[in-house]
Chain A
Amino acid sequence: MTRLAKHLVRLNVNGRDHALIIESNERLLDVLRDRLNLKGVKEGCGTGDCGTCSVIIDGRLVNSCLVLAVQARGKRIVTVEGIGTRENLHPVQKAFMKYNAAQCGFCTPAMVLAGKNLLDHNSTPSRDEIREAISGVLCRCTGYYKLIDAIQDAAEKLREDKL
């Protein structure tokens, strides 16, 4: 096998800085899952079609299977592990529970991130804006209705909290 160059890469993941030696061809997906043990990042296709590997990079929802880890150098990355905790759930996570928006759970981390990222940028999204925001992540269980309901509800909760 061809030996590939190695790089020292600093990544900020879920608010923590990591310095990692990374080979040129390592995908961000694998670095997050295998080196940083962030197993909430899922691989459903590896070709950028299903979106279950989505993470937030500098405020944008991105398929981590299509990003080389070296490309994420110096960027701020958020995975589902950085969103909420058992004791302190994000409103999107609370709403997903309330609305039964997670069935098999495989797309759920990406959907939580998609919802959270939308609400970070738009506190009053319409249903169509929510549909657009989650359209890069496939879900085969829910038909998307409960996901949309939940994100809409979370938006309301977030607005109430700010008042």
Chain B
Amino acid sequence: MTETALIQRLREAEGLVVVGKRIQRLDALGKVLGVPLYSSDIVPKDALRLKVVRSTVPHALIRRIDTDQAKGVPGVLAVLTAKDIPGINEAYALLPDRPLLAGTKVRSQGEAIAVVAAVDSETAEEAAGVVSVEYERLPAVFSPLEAMKSDAVRVHETGNVAKYLKVRKGNVEEGFRQAHVIIENTYKTQFQDPTALEPEVGMAWLERDGSITCVGSMQTPFYVQAGVAKVLGISTDKVRVIQATTGGAFGPKSDEMPIDTCAISALVAYRTGKPAILAYTREESIIAHTKRHPFVITLKTGAKNDGRLTASDALVVSDTGAYASLGPLVIIRACFHTTGPYVIPHVKTDAYCMYTNNTMAGSFRGFGSPQVHFAAESQMDELAKKLDMDPLDLRLKNILRSGLLTATSQLVDEACGLEECTKRAVDASNWHAKRLDLARDRGSFRRGIGIALMYHGNSLGPEGNDYAAVHIVVRPDAKVVVRTALTEYGTGAISGLAQIAAEALGLPIDVFELGRADTASCQETGPTVASRVIVIGGRATQIAAQKLKEKILAVGGDILGCDPSKLTIQNAVVRHSDDPEWTVSFQRIVEECFKRGISLTETGFYAAPKCEFDHENSQGTTYLQYTYGAVVAEVEVDMELGVVKPLKITAAYDVGKAINPLSLEGQIEGATIQGLGYGLMEQVTHTDGIVANPTLGDYYIPTSLDIPELQTIIVEFPGAVGPFGAKAMGEPPIDLPAAAIANAVAHATGSRVFSIPLTAEKVLFAMKERQR
């Protein structure tokens, strides 16, 4: 056990008061009253309404943009294009490939070309309709595999590969020589839309001193600040970005779209002097914002007759659409997790993130992990079938355990809860009996049960500098504010930080309030992504709280006339360890601090250790700790129609430590159903680069009538990094539902569907194929 894990275990033994309790989140009251202000609820009265003119073709040179007629529409104040941008016309996250407003070329549908600013939305929309864009169509490429060919259409001058990386462990040829059985399959996944219920929105206005203030729906205010400053050609200290209450995010609101909404609004404010708001319609949102990358994954797997895995050779190809967005990071996570949570001595993985002329993919909960887990876990079941083994037995023979090595040769530390999760999910779902019983189903409705296992590298790992800053402010009335530019967008994670602070400070949770994420009052803190608020932000919170606690106890010692080291604080009372009656209240100490001029504002800054690994072969420590999990799915399939009805999901996760089990269940339940939608119904369809279903009437997400019974099981094997051993849990529960459901469908029907979503059509065709 590492030293930090040991310290955390010792702390736990002390008995936690606030952490680990099912506590109502701090923003719950406002939310049930409907009072929080989302961006569209706080639009300045004189704000101009914006409408973006977007490309209607997947690949073309722009010959001419005619805005004259639009400018003549009464009520229109400005029609702006690329040439109106005073700074640099770029809005990319990683690779310098995407302009804010396309001026000479478009590479996909939905690219912003011009923006119309008008007195109301109807006028803006009407005028946008008469902006004419003359295109010279170019040949286009819509398949990532086609895009890999040497004679393929080039989406960018730099070529179509946005990122390539590989894993090399052992000697894969030798591994296949040792194998008695080798199988090879290709799996495909689709574009998934995140469908936050609040579409993208941003607004901006000029302050009297010439600076710009932006308010919007977002995950990462400092990225937006940098993006806006670049477009306007001003320094970042002239741009203030405030996060409004945000109605769901799921990744894309950490990506490039909040830069677009705020920078386009800021551009209009800068050019017209008036406040401006850009609110996407749902259709615009589905077309323009980042979606989950479709993958094509070819897996060749070798095993001994007894089921021991010997080798894995994988080709993983993602379609990032016309722009990289965070695709190059998504492919890293996918590449490192391609084998699933198994010990394989010889591993070779080649992973490519490819440009195409489809709409842009990017950051989305799971970040490449749901795709590779669908493939890896389908492959395990196919291998079990070939070996005539129970798929559970095959997995248990190969799963990661303490002391073993991952595909990237990372040594698994002692706290590996994978086997425990598997056992608990198997027992709770009655796997053994059902696996036998359900196979006897005959007739036109047949049930099946499937299992899938996962591991999920926590926090940023190889994806960036992993640090966080959290401020804790004690006010004169002894209320405590937790403020950070890590953002709340639904998860409850910032309330979790307050819980961690409450534990450290010995205060009840009800004295806490949440501050607002605002670049003017918060230190730069890295992005709110990768489920890292609790894991990394929690550590920063502990540091800030510890500093405050020392001050409070010092003043408490003065008041009581004793050595502060003799004092403890619990439930807002500072108490001498020798005499429980010898006390002073937190409130009294706060009053004293303000009287003496002692600041009770502290900032905690925590930077995670770097992940050390060989970047050539991707061998070493790729993540600092892992979340583990096992999901069992039970389904019923209509054998005549192919329709899949999910009956029950049993999900067990090794979460390290549940800071707030109530919030944690919320993450598991929400991600499970978002993952179920991914497995069964959700798919953004492109026809020659044009999105065919950009409305919620044509793009289905699960409703309350589509959900199965769900049982969640929380396993706690403390991790090395997170506070109290906590592990990342915002994203991981989306990794497995599709995989477990696919395996359950194969069990029910005897036929494998090698792609998701498992639509009735595909299930039916797979059955027909098998009969033939």
Q: CB distance A96 to B670 under 8 Å? A: no
The stretch from A5-13, A67-75, A145-153, A155-163 touching chain B is: A145-153
Task: Select which of B28, B32, B199, B671 is within 8 A of A44 by beta carbon.
Answer: B199
Q: Is the CB of B670 within 8 A of A142?
A: yes
Instruction: Give the residues in chain B near A99, CB-CB below 8 Å.
Output: 662
Asked if A140 and B196 make an inter-chain contact with CB atoms under 8 angstroms apart, the answer reads yes
A144 touching B665, Cβ below 8 Å: no
Given contacts A47-B697, A140-B196, A142-B670, contact A134 B704 (CB under 8 A): yes
Answer whether A138 and B197 are a contact pair too, CB < 8 Å, given A45-B282, A100-B662, A104-B246.
yes
B596 close to chain A: CB less than 8 A:
no
Given A45-B695, A102-B28, A143 contacting B670 (CB threshold 8 A):
yes
Q: Which residues of A contact B37 (CB under 8 A)?
A: 39
Answer yes or no: B281 CB below 8 A from chain A CBs: yes
Q: Assuming the A-B contacts A40-B34, A145-B710, are A139 and B197 also in contact, with contact meaning beta carbons closer than 8 angstroms in the complex?
A: yes
Taking Cβ atoms with an 8 Å cutoff, the residues of B that contact A are 24-25, 27-38, 40-41, 74, 122-123, 126, 194-199, 245-250, 281-282, 489-492, 662-663, 665-666, 669-674, 695-697, 701-705, 707, 710
Prevailing SS type, chain A contact patch: loop
Given A107-B197, A135-B703, 7 other A-B contacts at CB below 8 A? A81-B34, A100-B662, A100-B665, A144-B707, A145-B710, A146-B665, A147-B704
- Check A1 against B32 for contact (C-beta < 8 Å): no
CB B439 to nearest CB in A, in angstroms, measures 29
Chain B residues, Cβ within 8 Å of A139:
197, 704
Which residues of B sit under 8 angstroms from A89, Cβ to Cβ? 32-33
Given A80-B33, A100-B25, A105-B36, A44-B703 contact (CB < 8 Å): no
* Chain B, residue nearest A37 (CB): B41
CB distance from A47 to the nearest CB of B (A): 6
* Alpha-carbon distance between A109 and B707 when the two chains are bound, in angstroms: 21
Which B residues touch A144, using CB under 8 A? 669, 673, 703-704, 707
Binary interface profile of A, 104-126, with partner B (CB < 8 Å = 1, else 0)?
A: 11111100100000000000000
Bound complex: CA A106 to CA B35 (Å):
10
Q: Which residues of chain A in 17-36 are interfacial with respect to chain B, using CB atoms and an 8 Å cutoff?
A: 33
- A-B pairs with lowest CB-CB distance, top 4: A40-B34, A104-B490, A106-B247, A143-B673
Contact of B32 among A49, A97, A138 (CB under 8 A): A97
- Kindly provide the distance from the CB of B35 to the nearest chain A CB, expressed in whole angstroms: 7
A142 interface neighbour in B247, B666, B695, Cβ under 8 Å: B666
Q: Would you call B492 and A100 a contact (CB within 8 A)? A: yes
A49 to chain B, nearest CB (A): 4
A50 near B197: Cβ-Cβ < 8 Å: yes
A99 and B199 alpha carbons, distance in the complex (Å): 26
Residues of A within 8 A of B250 (CB): 140
Residue of A nearest to B40 (CB): A43
Given known contacts A100-B665, A103-B490, A131-B705, is B29 in contact with A140 (CB within 8 Å)? no
Per the 8 Å Cβ criterion, residues 32-72 of A in contact with B are: 33, 39-40, 42-50, 52
Tell me the bound Cα distance from A131 to B673 in angstroms: 14
Count class of interface residues, chain A: 35 or more
Return the contact of A100 from the options B24, B247, B697 (Cβ within 8 A).
B24
Known interface pairs A100-B25, A104-B248, A146-B665; A138-B703 also in contact (CB < 8 Å): yes
- Least CB distance, A74 to chain B, in whole angstroms: 25
CA–CA, A107 and B248, complex, Å: 10
- A100 close to B701 (CB less than 8 A): no
Residues of B with C-beta under 8 A to A134:
704
Main secondary structure of the interface of B (DSSP, over half): loop
Whether B247 and A49, one on each chain, are in contact in the complex, defined by CB atoms closer than 8 angstroms, is no
Q: Which residues of A contact B (CB under 8 A)?
A: 1, 33, 39-40, 42-50, 52, 79-81, 84-86, 89, 93-94, 96-100, 102-109, 112, 130-132, 134-135, 138-148
Sample of 19 A–B contacts (CB below 8 Å):
A1-B74, A39-B41, A42-B197, A44-B197, A44-B282, A45-B199, A93-B33, A97-B32, A100-B24, A100-B25, A104-B198, A104-B247, A104-B489, A106-B38, A112-B34, A132-B705, A134-B704, A141-B666, A143-B671
Smallest CB gap from A38: residue in B: B34
A84 touches B33 (CB 8 A): yes
Question: In the bound complex, do residue B199 and residue A146 qualify as a contact, i.e. CB atoms below 8 Å apart?
Answer: no
- Judging by beta carbons under 8 Å apart, are A140 and B670 in contact? yes
Contact of A105 among B74, B247, B696 (CB under 8 A): B247
- Contact check, A105 vs B669: say whether CB atoms are below 8 A apart: no
Separation of A102 and B710 alpha carbons in the complex (Å): 19
Given the known inter-chain contacts A100-B492, A106-B248, A108-B31, please indicate yes or no for A142 contacting B669, CB distance below 8 A: yes
Chain B nearest CB, measured from A22 CB (Å)? 15
Q: Which residues of B contact A145 (CB under 8 A)?
A: 669, 707, 710
Contact B197 A104 (CB under 8 A): yes
Distance between Cα atoms of A40 and B490 in the complex (Å) = 16
A131 to B27: give the CA distance in the assembly, Å: 25
Selected contact of A1 from candidates B123, B246, B663, CB within 8 Å: B123
Tell me whether B669 and A143 are in contact (CB under 8 A).
yes
Cross-chain contact A102 with B32 (CB below 8 angstroms): yes
Bound CA–CA A147/B196 (angstroms): 17
On whether the beta carbons of B492 and A103 are closer than 8 Å, the reply is: yes
Given A100-B663, A148-B704, CB of A44 within 8 Å of CB of B33? no
Q: Quick check: B704 and A140 within 8 Å, CB to CB? A: no
Q: Is the CB of A105 within 8 A of B31?
A: yes
A49 touches B122 (CB 8 A): no
Residues of A within 8 A of B34 (CB): 39-40, 79-81, 108-109, 112
Closest to B662 in A: A100
Once the chains are docked, how many angstroms separate the CA of A107 from the CA of B122?
A: 25
A40-B34, A42-B38, A81-B34 known; A97+B28 contact, CB < 8 A: yes
Query: What chain A residues lie within 8 Å of B703 (beta carbons)?
Result: 135, 138, 144
Bound: A5/B372 CA distance, A? 58
Distance in Å: Cβ of B292 to nearest Cβ of chain A: 14
**Cα-based distance from A50 to B198 in the complex (angstroms):** 10
Q: How far is the CB of A56 from chain B (nearest CB, A)?
A: 13
Docked Cα-Cα span, A96 to B33, in Å, equals 10
Contact of B669 (CB < 8 Å), options: A45, A93, A98, A146: A146
Q: Which residue of A lies closest to B677 (CB)?
A: A140
Residues in A neighbouring B672, C-beta threshold 8 A: 143
B197 and A140 within 8 A (CB): yes
Contact present for A49 and B196 (CB under 8 Å): no
**How close is A122's CB to chain B, nearest CB, in angstroms?**
16
**A138 surroundings in chain B (CB, below 8 A):** 195, 197, 696, 701, 703
Query: Which of B28, B33, B123, B489: most chain A CB closer than 10 A?
Result: B33
Which residue of chain B has the shortest Cβ distance to A94 in the bound complex? B32
- The CA of A102 and the CA of B404, in the complex, are separated in Å by 41
